[in-house]
Amino acid sequence: MIYDEAQLAELRKYAFSVYILQALSFVLLFTAIVAVIVNYVKQEDVRGSWLESHFRWQMATFWYGLLWTLLGILTSWIIIGYVVLLAVSIWLVYRIARGWICLVDGKEMYLVTTGENNE
């Protein structure tokens, strides 16, 4: 599908809102669930655009973050659980920040290299 600038600007707002909701999830847990719902609802609208990579990035951040958070909680009765929870918190901050910065810069996530020298 070919997108014009107005469509991309509108869809970009959804990607921004998901990054904001993900960041707010450190304070209000339910915002992460709202964010992933927005991702799945708008996923078809971004298919084929550069924003699709951000939606994949955001969904992967949610699901892997949930997985590792649950593992950290389940193992918190031993000390390793707290280490896992700390590590997943740092990882989530990194994922949200990196995605947000790339979105502001208009860059895709998951850049594919062709094996040539890309200088």
pLDDT tens by residue, 57-113: 999 999 999 999 999 999 999 999 999 999 999 999 999 999 999 999 999 997 654
Rg over CA atoms, the chain: 16
Of 41, 43, 38, nearest to 18 by C-alpha is: 38
pLDDT mean across residues, the chain: 91
**Per-residue confidence band for 116, with pLDDT thresholds at 50, 70 and 90:** low
Give the pLDDT score at 112.
53
What does the alpha-carbon distance between residue 30 and residue 42 come to, in Å, rounded to a whole number? 19
pTM, two decimal places: 0.88
Model confidence at 3, in pLDDT bands (50, 70, 90)?
confident
Q: Does the CA dihedral 91-97-99-102 come out positive or negative?
A: negative
